[in-house]
Amino acid sequence: MRPAILLTICTLSVLLLVARGSEKPSPAPVVAVGVAAASDLIRSGAGTEKNTQFIAQVAADFDKEDNIVVGCKSGVRSELACADLMAAGFRNVKNIEGGYTAWVENGLAVKKSQAQDEL
């Protein structure tokens, strides 16, 4: 058994796999919403879908005895992910209480991508 820690930052994105031939898809127009509308959409749960492959993806990389730490922005979705992992037999699963927000508020290290530094 190898020591492992998985920190999963849950986002509102959904992984879509599209099988296409050699045709190039035309880009869809970008839809913009203001911050108030975006906040309303996030609160309503619009656009969020449970990753049906989550357990299989974790099981592909981790043993059921490995230490796994799961987090998201606020700690709510990661708590649900922890419950799913434990129901699937993973024994050493922990949720980051308060999520990424609490992590940052407590001054813990955050590594930003170069693109974020340029903003």
Q: Which residue has the tokens 């708590």?
A: 79
Q: Is 72 a catalytic residue?
A: yes
CA 26 to chain centre: 28
Exactly one of 72, 81, 85, 96 is catalytic; which is it? 72
| Cα 4–Cα 10–Cα 15 angle in degrees, nearest 5 | 105
Tell me how far apart the alpha carbons of residues 59 and 66 are, in angstroms, rounded to a whole number.
10
Known catalytic residues are 72
